[in-house]
Amino acid sequence: MTNPTHHFRIDVDEAVRLIAENMPAYATEAVPLERARGAILRGPVVAERDQPPFDRVTMDGIAIRAAALTAGRRSFRVGGIQGAGEAAIPLGTEDVCVEIMTGAILPEDADTIVPVERIEHDGDHVTLEPGYEPTPGQFIHRRGTDLAAGQPLFDVGTVIGAPEMAALTIAGSPTVTVARWPKISVISTGDELVDVGTPVELFQIRSSNDRAIMASLENRGCTTATRAWLPDDPDALRKAIREMHDRDDMLVLSGGVSMGKYDYVPQIMEELGVRLVFHKILQKPGLPMWFGVSAQQKPVFALPGNPVSSLVCLVRYVVPAIRTALGAATQEPHPVRLAEAVRFEPNLACFMPVRLAADAAGDLRAWPKATNTSGDFVGLAGTDGFVELPRGRDLFAAGEAVQFFRW
């Protein structure tokens, strides 16, 4: 805590800026598609083939030539049956049709599909429904009309979600080049903490921060975090934090950063040579947040121990910092309108838990759900995230647009 240059009691925006300045660059790796959800694209992804790769039939029915209709033909001999995944069966002559299924390749000498609902079978012939006039070229998804072979599918920085996962298969590769998630130690500190599944005394607390932090990281596709617990004991903290620092790329601690006698985290960090960048942000919850960088340029986030504070600080600072460092082209927060007015102390920024739901007109609104102190994580259940109400004002009106962060 003797670092004379560190920042103290700063604004939210300054904290975001100082963290961004101190984040390292993360490597690029090829991952199997199974592990790519939420990953951030680093390399080009180009279509292996035209998309669709052939003239694709979009209805079960018969394939014919429109010229036969123009010549007055309504009845066709069935020359063959062709399913999806089978090589094309040519018609040969105009009096012939091929029974064809959705997803099949269109025979080269056919150009129109008549749906199965519009034909009648009579032995080895089919006849069009009286009065039905097919549009020449109908029910064919033409080759290359979605994307030409060799064209890029996405920009670098794209976050891979469900639709991107489908589109990635067009590249034909079982792997994709993405930014490598940092390995993160999620460390709970506190003598009172007990994990689920073991007996707990009256005066002890089930450790919950680490569970919420892991879930929030996993929501983004980050599966490189591991949980650990440490007591309020300087020797144990020093030894274990050093080991985890050497093993992983980032430390996310919770607890032990306030003014209590057993809040050893800042002191231990100093002993370990972690340079303090800032301590305390003008915000509620989460005022005691601590951030530093080790000599190996590894970020160390020490979040306040209160469960609401730790999750808010993770989502407001740690998650966006990682996503930006990985090269995400888009940031997560987006504006949303408050459903109700909120009053708050003007000297602190407020992070207000909200539930997102549409109002009677169908417009999405953020419904504030204040918790019963920052220890009340039970009150967070059922909320979608929080909104940020900037410092300097004490009233935020119903209908006002504010930034929403998802848990």
Among the residue ranges 89-97, 105-113, 189-197, 377-385, the one whose residues contact Mg ion (CB under 5 A): 189-197
Residues 253-272 as x/- pattern, contact with Mg ion by CB under 5 A = --xx----------------
Amino acid symbol at 345: E
Question: Which of the residues 19 through 48 are near ligand AMP (CB under 6 A)?
Answer: none
- The verdict on 255 binding ligand AMP (CB under 6 A) reads yes
> Does 285 engage in binding with Mg ion (CB under 5 A)?
no
By the rule CB under 6 A, 210 interacts with ligand AMP: yes
Of 89 and 213, the one with the shorter C-beta distance to ligand AMP is 213
- Cβ neighbours of residue 60 under 8 Å, at least 6 residues apart? 100, 101, 102, 115, 116
Could you tell me if 36 and 169 are in contact, meaning their C-beta atoms sit under 8 angstroms apart?
no
Residue found by looking up tokens 């009106």 in the block: 397
Of 266, 305, 327, 385, which lies in the binding site for ligand AMP, with binding defined by CB under 6 A? 305
Distance separating alpha carbons of residues 179 and 241, to the nearest angstrom: 26
* H-assigned helices in 92-195: 162-168
Nearest Cα residue to 254 out of 296, 214, 295, 203: 214
Helix, strand, coil tally for the chain in percent (to 5)? 20, 30, 45
d(CA 280, CA 303): 10
**Which residue's CB is nearer to Mg ion, number 264 or number 317?**
264
Minimum Å distance from CB 9 to ligand AMP?
Answer: 17
Q: Report if residue 304 touches ligand AMP, rule: CB under 6 A.
A: yes
- 3-class secondary-structure state, position 48: coil
Nearer to ligand AMP, 63 or 269 (CB): 269
Q: How far is the CB of 163 from ligand AMP (least distance, A)?
A: 36
| 210 contact choice in Mg ion, ligand AMP, none (CB below 5 to 8 Å, kind-dependent) | ligand AMP
237-256 positions binding Mg ion, by CB under 5 A: 255-256
Record the tokens describing residue 215, joined without a space.
Answer: 């879930």
Cβ of residue 305: shortest distance to Mg ion, in angstroms? 5
- The three-state secondary structure class of 66 is helix
Which chain residues interact with ligand AMP by CB under 6 A?
A: 188, 190, 192-193, 205, 207-210, 254-258, 260, 263, 304-307, 375
